[in-house]
């Protein structure tokens, strides 16, 4: 997977979040976007997913220009599976219906086809006994696994994870990270924004380190964690890996 960023700029009001980023990020399966809070990681992920549009610059995902026209954007988004930190499940629908919805509403599957695929995924994620529970009846880890099942169900070319464990306790965090590690083992391609440094070191092929709205450095995960090139990245790792 190759991401080509050219002068990518995004602002909210007078606050510039991404400041003219230019980079080529090439990774076989997993790219981790790391860095301090407010550095632009989640905004870059949203631009990649077509959920935001830049003020300036361009972005290509495996040679495909991320469109800005709304009709083209809808098609582009249908190829991307996104998992947010807050689950974004419909509270009035049970787990299987949440997974089925994009399959029937966007991808044109029949209800029977969608249900079969949804139930298969929920079973694989150890949720077969919870398929007919609503989100309020599930634990945080179970809700996030439902959200992952929904993202994977559409068979996307790319998965995006935006801090998928930030709202979870340590035990629930571990169960969700195990699911994400299994997705890599299956050969899935995804981009991960996370503060779980040891997990990023284990699962990522490549790392892009963002701070102050720009990519300070990018390298293989092995090289980045062993020998970060910038003082900013060295200080960051010293701080977050200290305890």
The two structure tokens encoding residue 123? 């079973």
CB 128 within 8 A of CB 142: no
Three-class SS state of 70: helix
- What does the pLDDT read at residue 86? 81
CB 194 within 8 A of CB 161: yes
Nearest by Cα to 158 from 8, 71, 48: 48
- What does the pLDDT read at residue 17? 96
Q: Which residue, chain included where needed, has tokens 């994620």?
A: 125
- What does the pLDDT read at residue 167? 80
CA distance 33 to 192: 6
Strands 64-65 and 190-193, by their bridges, are unpaired
Beta bridge partners of 159: 81, 190
CA distance 157 to 236: 32
Strand ranges, E, within the chain: 2-12, 15-26, 30-34, 56-61, 64-65, 80-83, 158-162, 190-193, 206-211, 214-220
The two structure tokens encoding residue 46? 């949203």
CA distance 175 to 152: 17
Strands 214-220 and 206-211, by their bridges, are antiparallel
Q: Give every residue of the chain whose pLDDT is below 70, as ranges.
A: none
pLDDT (tens digit per residue) in 73-110: 999 999 999 998 887 899 999 999 999 999 999 999 99
CA distance 97 to 113: 12
**Cα-to-chain-centroid distance, residue 180:** 10
- What does the pLDDT read at residue 168? 86
The two structure tokens encoding residue 113? 């086809």
- What does the pLDDT read at residue 115? 97
Strands 206-211 and 56-61, by their bridges, are unpaired
The two structure tokens encoding residue 73? 């954007």
Structural domains of the chain, with CATH: 1-79+157-193+202-216 (3.40.50.300), 87-156 (no CATH)
CA distance 237 to 87: 28
Q: Which residue, chain included where needed, has tokens 């930030």?
A: 166
DSSP, res 69: S
The two structure tokens encoding residue 236? 């960051």
């Amino acid at each position: 997977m190759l991401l080509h960023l050219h002068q990518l700029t995004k602002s909210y009001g007078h606050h510039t979040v991404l400041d003219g980023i230019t980079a080529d990020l090439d990774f076989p399966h997993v790219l981790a976007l790391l860095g301090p809070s407010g550095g632009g990681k989640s905004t870059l992920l949203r631009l990649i997913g077509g959920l935001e549009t830049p003020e300036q610059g361009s972005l290509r995902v495996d040679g495909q220009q991320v469109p800005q026209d709304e009709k083209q954007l809808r098609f582009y988004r249908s190829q991307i599976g996104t998992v947010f930190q807050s689950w974004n499940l419909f509270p009035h629908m049970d787990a299987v219906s949440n997974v089925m919805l994009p399959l029937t509403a966007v991808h044109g599957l029949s209800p029977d086809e969608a249900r079969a695929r949804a139930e298969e995924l929920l079973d694989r994620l150890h949720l077969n006994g919870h398929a007919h529970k609503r989100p309020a009846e599930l634990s945080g880890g179970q809700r996030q696994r439902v959200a992952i099942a929904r993202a994977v169900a559409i068979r996307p070319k790319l998965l995006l994870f935006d801090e998928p464990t930030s709202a979870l306790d340590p035990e629930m965090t571990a169960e969700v990270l195990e699911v994400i590690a299994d997705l890599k083992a299956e050969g899935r391609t995804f981009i991960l924004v996370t503060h779980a440094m040891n997990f990023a070191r284990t699962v990522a092929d490549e790392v892009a380190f963002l701070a102050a709205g720009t990519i300070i450095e990018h390298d293989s995960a092995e090289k980045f964690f062993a020998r970060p090139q910038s003082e900013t990245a060295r200080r960051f790792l010293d701080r977050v890996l200290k305890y």
